[in-house]
Amino acid sequence: MLFQLGLPNEIVIAYGRDEQKVLKDTDCAWQDLRVELKAQADGLEIAVTADDTPVRFLALRWSLPLPEDALFLCDAWERSYGELQWRSLAPARTMPWYFLMLASGVLTGFGVKVRPSAFAQWRVDPKGVSLFLDLRNGRDGVRLGGRRLAVATVVAEQYPLVERSALSAAHEFCCRMCDDPLLPAAPVVGANNWYYAYGDISRESVLEDCRYLKNMSYGIPVTPFMVIDDGWQAKHSPNYNGGPWNCGNQRFPDFPQLVNEMIAIGVKPGIWLRPLLDSSPDIPKEWRMPIRDMDGRICGHREALDPSQPEVLKKVQNDLRQLVSWGFQLIKHDFTTYDIFGKWGFQMGSWLLDDASSGFADQSRTAAEIVGALYRAIREAIGNAFILGCNTIGHLAAGLIHISRIGDDTSGYSFDRTRRMGINTLAFRLCQHNAFFAVDADCVGILDDSHTIPWECNRQWAELLAASGTAFFTSIRPDALTTTEMDKMRQFYRMATSPTSAEPLDWLQNNLPSHWRINGQERIFDWFLDSLEKSDLLT
């Protein structure tokens, strides 16, 4: 149903150090600044032009009285961390990228189309809706140098829930925000060795993982991925998980040979890397993220590489091309958001950028533009291989990655962590699946045959994950499963590669939904079968 949000009632631009200007028109110039708002068929297009003045924020306000009984659901800056849920009106709540409002049997979506040139957040209050757009380069404003910046395109739609569910409407709104998702042609299933090995891996253990995966997935219609996670790189240690990425350590002496052995077993080889962390001494310090003083002068450098620099993007691309040349068919890149901004999603609060994020060497582009350029460089480098983005910013990566890890790590040790990072994430970001990318709510982790996490907990998690139709990855120590458990896991792999669907039915009231509709049949899960002695609160 077409919903006319219309032009905003108020526009404010923040510039310089701490200056602001209220703008009266939708095409307005002030000093060397110009803001343009243009209503188009696909949404409200926002653009900013500036010569010398640094531009920091743009804020738009719509006077729009909201229903008193409305519930709201929003997205997260990058991965989610167990915090997603429908909530009543909370004016101080940061709502990144988009939000959904449910009232009187109608779902209304407000958002910006994917890959904007600014970080976008929404706020709601009893009198209206506000959109804040962060145009900074770091803690300082972007210096456009006369360039016209296409900031974002605002979209809004309403969906009466007469013969459809809120999840179906939310999915359609996500499709409205993304015209060009990069989607796998077949179901994505496989395994990863992190949640039982935690970096203690070798060529031999990887081949054992491959054989175990092939046994678990026997008879499915697609070839599963076996992803080699952290632990293969030359300088791997308990205290360091960075590069160089052009060779393995002594446990991985010959990657082309290993890849051929993996393929011979019957799996597709995948590998993990952290592209913006590399301690190689031949990397110039100027390639690293700058630290600026209060006057904007560079006074030092962080360890992470600065993706605003062409030399860094070229290095990242060369590392990726090396992995692809060895024969890897899936590249999992990780930690880029943390390495750029110095904090995790749950630490970001109102904005990703703060005084600790002192900017980039290139100050002519917004931080959002620089992150997007990194994702495009990765996409260009890997050719026909699949991209699994972890610790990526989903709204900037949509259309540039095939698969997105939408939540923080699940666990082989703690089911409480799997509840928060897996079940919550899957329920509240399932609407993004096959709209932005294929979503990956992370692994079913089984650490040992004594089942540190009770089998019945992981069995239910595996069933829901397989039934959801999203990416299905396990991380199970070889020989950890009994014969009966192995048979059940084979059933889940078959389910994950068959036409299937899952929908949370109690997600309006429960942020760990237990009541689901799976392939048209209602199913109730018990997510609290782990004993009290295994609680994270006792560790």
Chain centroid offset of residue 500 CA: 23
- Render pLDDT for 417-461 as a digit per residue (tens, 0 to 9): 999 999 999 999 999 999 999 999 999 999 988 889 999 999 999
Quick one: 208 and 139 in the same domain?
no
Question: Is 519 domain-assigned?
Answer: no
pLDDT of residue 294: 74
What DSSP state is assigned to residue 337? Answer: H
Query: Are 243 and 233 a contacting pair, CB within 8 Å?
Result: yes
CA–CA separation, 243 and 240 (whole Å): 9
pLDDT of residue 292: 78
- Render pLDDT for 102-148 as a digit per residue (tens, 0 to 9): 999 999 999 999 999 999 999 999 999 999 999 999 888 999 999 99
CA–CA separation, 179 and 156 (whole Å): 15
Per-residue pLDDT at 2 exceeds 60: no
Quick one: 136 and 195 in the same domain?
no
CA separation, residue 5 to residues 62, 68, 130, 178 (Å) = 8, 19, 12, 19
The tally of domains found in the chain comes to 2
Give the pair of three-digit tokens for residue 376: 């495009």
Question: Which of residues 115, 143, 171 is at a domain's end?
Answer: 171
Per-residue pLDDT at 1 exceeds 60: no
pLDDT of residue 359: 82
For position 457, which CATH number holds?
3.20.20.70
State the average pLDDT over residues 358-377. Answer: 94
- Render pLDDT for 257-298 as a digit per residue (tens, 0 to 9): 999 999 999 999 999 999 999 999 999 999 999 887 777 788
State the DSSP string of 262-296: HHHHT-EEEEEE-TT-B--TTS-GGGEEEEE-TTS
- Render pLDDT for 467-509 as a digit per residue (tens, 0 to 9): 999 999 999 999 999 999 999 999 999 999 999 999 999 999 9
Question: Is 505 domain-assigned?
Answer: no
Quick one: 115 and 229 in the same domain?
no
Quick one: 162 and 252 in the same domain?
no
Quick one: 166 and 213 in the same domain?
no
Q: Which of 279, 286, 332 is nearest to 306 (CA)?
A: 286
Q: Which of 83, 87, 85, 95 is nearest to 71 (CA)?
A: 87
Q: Which of 522, 537, 270 is nearest to 385 (CA)?
A: 270
Model confidence band, residue 24 (pLDDT cutoffs 50, 70, 90): confident
Question: Which of residues 138, 171, 204 is at a domain's end?
Answer: 171
Quick one: 257 and 375 in the same domain?
yes
Question: Is 398 domain-assigned?
Answer: yes
Percent of the chain at pLDDT exceeding 90: 87
Quick one: 398 and 447 in the same domain?
yes
3-class DSSP assignment, residue 184: coil
Per-residue pLDDT at 533 exceeds 80: no
Q: How many CB atoms lie within 10 A of CB 218?
A: 12
3-class DSSP assignment, residue 36: strand
Domain containing residue 63: 10-171
CA–CA separation, 163 and 173 (whole Å): 16
Quick one: 337 and 366 in the same domain?
yes
Quick one: 167 and 298 in the same domain?
no
Question: Is 42 domain-assigned?
Answer: yes
pLDDT of residue 526: 96
pLDDT of residue 355: 61
Q: Are strands 27-30 and 33-40 parallel, antiparallel or unpaired?
A: antiparallel
What does the mean pLDDT of the chain come to? 94
pLDDT of residue 6: 87
Question: Is 180 domain-assigned?
Answer: no
Per-residue pLDDT at 160 exceeds 90: yes
Question: Is 95 domain-assigned?
Answer: yes
pLDDT of residue 196: 95
Quick one: 165 and 196 in the same domain?
no
Quick one: 242 and 123 in the same domain?
no
Percent of the chain at pLDDT exceeding 70: 98
The contacts of residue 104 (CB under 8 Å, 6+ apart) are 67, 69
pLDDT of residue 356: 55
Question: Is 230 domain-assigned?
Answer: yes
3-class DSSP assignment, residue 385: coil
Strands (E), 195-345: 225-228, 268-273, 288-292, 298-305, 330-333
* Sign of the dihedral through C-alpha 192, 399, 287, 16: negative
Question: Is 504 domain-assigned?
Answer: no
Quick one: 395 and 334 in the same domain?
yes
